């Protein structure tokens, strides 16, 4: 069964360092998303991406965050200068069409020290 894959599964970084989280969405999907889940809390929407541009973003997604689809398969989330409060599980998700089911990856755990 097709699935959303994410790398790395866990990354530990120092505060102030840049981090790139990578995602390979399901191949025929057109809409891509990043969500965040701080330990023990709910899943929160960060950003949606369609047709090679951001379609919507939350207030969490400030200037320190960026997303990119550098080729036909990868979808990345970059955090320029990580803060302690960026420590969380980051989930990539994708869906095929406008009303389709959202499929989540297994997540990338980011720990900022």
In the complex, which residues of this chain contact another protein (CB under 8 A)?
4, 31, 33, 35, 41-45, 48, 55-56, 91, 93, 95, 98-102, 104-107
CB of residue 40 vs another protein: minimum separation in angstroms? 9
Nearest-angstrom CA–CA distance, 24 and 105: 9
Of 55 and 73, which has the nearer Cβ to another protein?
A: 55
In terms of CB distance, is 17 or 55 closer to another protein? 55
Query: For another protein, which is the closer residue by CB, 102 or 113?
Result: 102
Give dist(CA 15, CA 104) in Å, integer. Answer: 27
* CA 11-23-79 angle, 5° bins: 50
- DSSP assignment letter at 85: G
Taking every pair of Cα atoms in the chain, the longest distance, rounded to a whole number of angstroms, is 39
Host H or E run for residue 77: strand 75-79
The residue (of 63 and 101) whose beta carbon lies closer to another protein is 101
In angstroms, give the least distance from the CB of 15 to another protein. Answer: 25
């Amino acid at each position: 069964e097709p699935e959303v894959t994410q790398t790395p599964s866990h990354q530990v970084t120092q505060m102030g360092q840049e981090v790139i989280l990578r995602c390979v969405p399901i191949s025929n999907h057109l809409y891509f998303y990043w969500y965040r889940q701080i330990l023990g809390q709910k899943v929160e929407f960060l950003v949606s991406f369609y047709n090679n541009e951001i379609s919507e973003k939350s207030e969490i997604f400030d200037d320190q965050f960026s997303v990119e689809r550098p080729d036909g398969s990868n979808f990345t989330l970059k955090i320029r200068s990580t803060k302690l409060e960026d420590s969380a599980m980051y989930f990539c998700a994708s869906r095929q069409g406008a009303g389709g089911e959202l499929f989540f990856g297994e997540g990338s755990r980011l720990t900022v020290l």
